[in-house]
Amino acid sequence: MKNLIALLLFLGAPALIYGQVGREVSGTIKDSTGNSVIAATVKLISSKDSLFTRTDVDGKFVFRNVQSSQFLLSVTSLGYRGFNQRYLFKNATSPLKLDPITLKSQSNLLNEVIVSGTAPVTIKEDTVEYRASDYPVRENSVVEDVIKKLPGVEVDKDGNVTTQGKSITRVRVNGKDFFDGDLKTATQNLPAEIIEKIQIVDDYGDQANASGIRDSDPDKILNITISPNRNKGVIANVIAGGGGDARSGTNTNVQNDGRYQLSGMVQLMDNDRQLSGLINLNNTNASLFDFAGGGNQRGGRFRSGGVGGGGGSGITDTKAGGLNFRDELSKKVSIYGSYSIQNRNTDTYQNSLTQTSGRDTTFSVSNSSIRNSNSINNSHRLNFNLEYKIDSLNYLKVSPSFNYNSTNSDSYNTSVIMERSKQDQNTQSLSDSRSPAIGGDLLYNHRFVKRGRNLSVSFSVNNSNTKNDQDAEDEFRFYNREDLNLYTDSVSNRRIYTNNERFNTETNVTYSEPIGIYSRIDLSYNYNRSSYDNSRITELDGSGGYVPVDSLSNVFDYSFTTNRFGLSYRYDREKLYNFSVGVSAQPSLLEGYSESNDVGVRRKNFNFFPNARFVYNFAKSRSLNINYSGRSSEPSYNQIQPVVDLSNPQRPIVGNPDLKSAFNQTISIRYNNFDPAAGTFFIVGLGGNIINDRITSNLVRYQLPVITATGTSYNLIQETQYLNVDGYYAANGFYSWSKPFSERKYTLRLNGSANYTNDVSYNDNLKNIGKTWSLSQGLRMQINPNENIDITPGTSYRHSWVNYSLPTNFDTKNTTWTLDLNARIYFLKTFIFGFDGSKNINKGYSSSITSNPFIINTYLEKQFFNRRGRLRFQGYDLLNEARNVTASTSESGTYMESSTNRLTRYFMFSFAYRLNRFGGVNQSDRGPGGRDGERRREGGFRPEGGPPGGF
């Protein structure tokens, strides 16, 4: 009872406190054109009050704790006539919102005044907003060049964007997905001069945006808003280029050493009606679209500050195109969507080393391998969205989608395995896979007449089917333990036919009921069911041809169903602070049946967890966010199927039908601060998570006897099993700081992070605890003393290490130093010299793949046709040292290094032309600098390996 009384007092405290103070008075100041008046001086004077404030970027002002019901309000702002008016209201403490106040213009002739300074970054509850005009770039730059200048945002060599310790997963233009959210499709193609604002948003999904109930972890998305005076017209780019490698055979496994690029973009804009078309044909490793979803493009060209020319792993020939559209059919109905198609032919050469700990160092396994592969991938993606604003209270959105992927691959892998003795494995594999997927989402939201009361319902259905046919041939050689001479060999041929079908349905219902001016109760229910119809048929080559093997085949169906019930209390003081606390209960059911083995599984689980969220806005430029949440996750098909997966005979996988769903609890804390006067931006964050019943692996090694006429040898098998364990937890922290000097001529940036993970796995049925640390620190300086010099030096450091409870005979410490320099020099008005250099220093890697590449790229460009056209000669990786080197550790105590080929040294001539017309005004008709006389500066290194962006 005492606890209940304490809870009621806690929830009611804000209302009690508010009842002891005066009322809140707010309003909006606009000019005669309807635009907000920023930084206007507002004074409130009465017999009990003498208050002063300024309007924010939206022209809004707020006075709190106003004691008198009669007061005089005066407003003044440079360039406007003063406003004075007396207000008389009844005595009360309820908030008072005044009618909008309109200021009339007043012209005064003044002497010339030069105003310089930095406009503030606007920090809202879930949004950090930047005004593009405060980050000038040179004419013909693209959106990515502006993003590189934003404080707290990092763009890597391949164009991926990270902020606040997380990756940007999607991109929108004016609030709508652009090419289904592909990040680099937008940032590397849209011109910088059309941007008004760039927003980094914590996105909780369409339903959360409509209902205001945020009960899941947000994604980081990028929203680009187009300037109203740039939202009507035509954008057209075309780039054509050709060249070749420095010498024949420079790029291994490539028959034709010639390089080519042909790409273009056209975007027609008529305010809310827009149509965009893209095409890209190249063999320079440039991927126009990311068909893996989420806008996280894995390919990409060489970017500024990178470690290798050509971008991406392997050498790829790409042909891609797409259309994106949006239209406002009426004031109530809008549609938008896109279609994308892509063909990729990739040749890859990879050298890797894998080391695994064991019961002691004697049982540690070392596996070195070399892999050659060729894959041909065809992808299609179609999505459509319809938004219907039925009336002021009802909203409907329908979003169907279709995706199709097919891949043909041919690979050859040779590996050497060492554990006491030695054995070789050579594998030749041919595979053909097809993955169609179709689905749709529906969202309906109803706002009741009563303020704060809301009902939201969403429903989604998705069906996908992956078919894969694989033909594999393995050749094994076993060596004598004593003298390592060849002992015997054997050959295994097999065919594997896999068919995995997934059908998912999800329903989510939320309801909000206000219980006061600032408070509300949120109720939620979520139903999610995923059913799987899977089959794996394995045939082995025998004397009579290929014969199905029941012990290696399986027809297995299973489903995972959750019902989540939520109850939370939310208190919201609009722009001051808000918090919510609640609880959720989630029963789950996992059931399946193997027709091949007549084995069934049925597992029930129940999770009960609190959730909390707190946001405090100290000011427009400072905020504190705290979030806590929990969620269950299901096992995968490979983890639960109760048969042996022999895709690799030396590394079989055995599922566990008794696996429980894992339960993950996450907390995050983030503090933002921007100093408008100094231009200093600072953000720091902490986070952590704990996983109960985490699904982990148990790597079991055993030796099968190989008997021949001359004796017996042994074949080392490393079998992966799965089980649930507790003891996993992780913590992380990050910070980012930047400060401009001398009117943005110089900007200093610092960023760093620290991560720690305590993981639990099993090796040979023995518990193995891995404690992983990762530290990073970066420093970068932007130097723009004038419009003709743009230099960006930088350095970064990363160090990681792992300590395992089981003994190892390999080093798990890795260090990488990176030094880079990006420079552009503009001379003789229409000439540009560009330089991009990067040096990596890697320590802790094995000698077989150690690489410390020094990458140099450069170009010389001549602009003409009033800077709308240009001719460029450029060279990539002049020292021919580009390589991809990665290192990773797994929870099972397995350490893996790999080195993959990249597109290296080549040269290219290219011609590009760009024509932009906005509202009937040609680009050449504007003043110098591109944005109606505003000085612009060009951003990053722009090689021809990429899609048609700025140049």
Separation between Cα atoms, residue 576 and residue 616, nearest integer Å:
6
- Position 269 scores a pLDDT of 85
pLDDT (mean) for 750-762: 91
Separation between Cα atoms, residue 728 and residue 663, nearest integer Å:
11
Residues 120, 676 contacting (CB under 8 angstroms)? yes
First to last CA, the chain: 70
Better-predicted residue by pLDDT, 109 or 372: 372
Which residue, among 10, 3, 2, has the nearest Cα to 569 in the 3D structure? 10
Separation between Cα atoms, residue 940 and residue 917, nearest integer Å:
24
pTM above 0.75, yes or no: no
Percentage of the residues of the chain whose pLDDT score is greater than 90:
22
Percentage of the residues of the chain whose pLDDT score is greater than 70:
79
Among 416-425, 837-846, 895-904, name the one with the lowest average pLDDT: 416-425
Report the Cα 779 to chain-centroid distance in Å. Answer: 22
Among 3-17, 24-38, 462-476, 723-737, name the one with the lowest average pLDDT: 3-17
In this structure, are strands 219-226 and 166-173 parallel, antiparallel, or unpaired? parallel
11 has pLDDT over 80: no
Residues 519, 463 contacting (CB under 8 angstroms)? no
- Position 216 scores a pLDDT of 62
Question: In terms of C-beta density within 10 A (0-12 exposed, 13-18 middle, 19 or more buried), how is residue 484 classed?
Answer: exposed
pLDDT (mean) for 188-216: 76
| Chain position carrying tokens 């001398």 | 742
**DSSP 3-state assignment of 931?**
strand
Separation between Cα atoms, residue 887 and residue 893, nearest integer Å:
13
The secondary element (H helix, E strand) that includes residue 18 is: helix 2-18
Better-predicted residue by pLDDT, 182 or 420: 182
- Position 943 scores a pLDDT of 37
Separation between Cα atoms, residue 919 and residue 915, nearest integer Å:
13
pLDDT (mean) for 510-523: 90
How many separate helices (H) and strands (E) can be counted in the chain?
5, 50
- Phi, psi at 702, each rounded to 5°: -150, 165
Structure-token pair, residue 727: 């003891």
Better-predicted residue by pLDDT, 844 or 280: 280
pLDDT band at residue 702 under the 50/70/90 scheme: confident
pLDDT band at residue 776 under the 50/70/90 scheme: very high
pLDDT (mean) for 257-261: 86
Q: Check residue 838 and report its DSSP letter.
A: E
**DSSP 3-state assignment of 363?**
helix
Buried-exposed string 563-580: b where 16+ CB fall within 10 A, e elsewhere: ebebebbbbbbebebbbb
Which residue, among 428, 306, 298, 411, has the nearest Cα to 349 in the 3D structure? 411
Among 843-847, 889-893, 901-905, name the one with the lowest average pLDDT: 889-893
Structure-token pair, residue 96: 């008072």
Alpha helices (H) in 618-739, listed in sequence order:
637-640
- Position 366 scores a pLDDT of 66
pLDDT band at residue 358 under the 50/70/90 scheme: low
Question: In terms of C-beta density within 10 A (0-12 exposed, 13-18 middle, 19 or more buried), how is residue 292 classed?
Answer: exposed
618 has pLDDT over 90: no
In this structure, are strands 23-31 and 96-97 parallel, antiparallel, or unpaired? parallel
Separation between Cα atoms, residue 187 and residue 948, nearest integer Å:
11
Question: In terms of C-beta density within 10 A (0-12 exposed, 13-18 middle, 19 or more buried), how is residue 53 classed?
Answer: middle
528 has pLDDT over 60: yes
Better-predicted residue by pLDDT, 68 or 918: 68
pLDDT band at residue 589 under the 50/70/90 scheme: confident
- Position 93 scores a pLDDT of 61
- Position 364 scores a pLDDT of 57
Q: Check residue 744 and report its DSSP letter.
A: T
pLDDT band at residue 20 under the 50/70/90 scheme: very low
- Phi, psi at 638, each rounded to 5°: -65, -30
Structure-token pair, residue 677: 């006067």
DSSP string, 541-573: EETTEEEE-GGG-EEEEEEEEEEEEEEEEEEE-
Better-predicted residue by pLDDT, 35 or 845: 35
pLDDT (mean) for 91-120: 63
107 has pLDDT over 70: no
- Position 192 scores a pLDDT of 83
Which residue, among 379, 441, 381, 373, has the nearest Cα to 410 in the 3D structure? 373
- Position 709 scores a pLDDT of 56
The Cβ of residue 890 has, within 10 Å, a number of other Cβ atoms equal to: 17
Domain ranges in the chain are 21-103
628 has pLDDT over 50: yes
Separation between Cα atoms, residue 81 and residue 76, nearest integer Å:
7
pLDDT band at residue 502 under the 50/70/90 scheme: very high
CATH fit for domain 21-103, picks 2.60.40.10, 3.40.50.300, 3.30.300.10, 2.40.50.140: 2.60.40.10
Structure-token pair, residue 552: 């290696």
Separation between Cα atoms, residue 945 and residue 286, nearest integer Å:
5
Separation between Cα atoms, residue 254 and residue 208, nearest integer Å:
49
Q: Check residue 659 and report its DSSP letter.
A: P
Q: What is the mean pLDDT of the chain?
A: 78
Question: Considering Cα of 84, then 89, then 93, then 94, what sign does the dihedral take?
Answer: negative
- Position 905 scores a pLDDT of 87
pLDDT band at residue 944 under the 50/70/90 scheme: very low
pLDDT band at residue 904 under the 50/70/90 scheme: confident
376-388 tens-digit pLDDT:
999 999 999 999 9
- Position 302 scores a pLDDT of 24
- Position 19 scores a pLDDT of 40
641 has pLDDT over 80: no
With a CB cutoff of 8 Å and minimum separation 6, the contacts of 936 are 136, 137, 138, 139, 141, 192, 193, 929, 930
Question: Considering Cα of 778, then 784, then 788, then 789, what sign does the dihedral take?
Answer: negative
- Phi, psi at 132, each rounded to 5°: -60, -30
Structure-token pair, residue 617: 């806005």
**DSSP 3-state assignment of 881?**
coil
Separation between Cα atoms, residue 873 and residue 243, nearest integer Å:
10
Residues 481, 505 contacting (CB under 8 angstroms)? no
- Position 708 scores a pLDDT of 58
pLDDT (mean) for 282-300: 55
Residues 338, 323 contacting (CB under 8 angstroms)? yes
Max avg pLDDT among 513-517, 715-719, 781-785, 817-821: 817-821
- Position 473 scores a pLDDT of 85
307-337 tens-digit pLDDT:
223 456 788 899 999 999 999 898 899 999 9
pLDDT band at residue 777 under the 50/70/90 scheme: very high
pLDDT (mean) for 400-419: 86
Buried-exposed string 170-208: b where 16+ CB fall within 10 A, e elsewhere: bbbbbebbbbbbbbbbbbbbbbbbbbbebbbbbbbbbbb
848 has pLDDT over 60: no
Separation between Cα atoms, residue 122 and residue 830, nearest integer Å:
37
217-237 tens-digit pLDDT:
677 888 888 888 788 888 888
The secondary element (H helix, E strand) that includes residue 146 is: helix 143-147
- Position 360 scores a pLDDT of 55
pLDDT band at residue 247 under the 50/70/90 scheme: low
Residues 137, 207 contacting (CB under 8 angstroms)? no
Separation between Cα atoms, residue 626 and residue 470, nearest integer Å:
48
Better-predicted residue by pLDDT, 414 or 293: 414
921 has pLDDT over 80: no
Max avg pLDDT among 153-157, 360-364, 584-588: 584-588
Beta partners for 470?
Answer: 431, 496
pLDDT (mean) for 300-306: 25
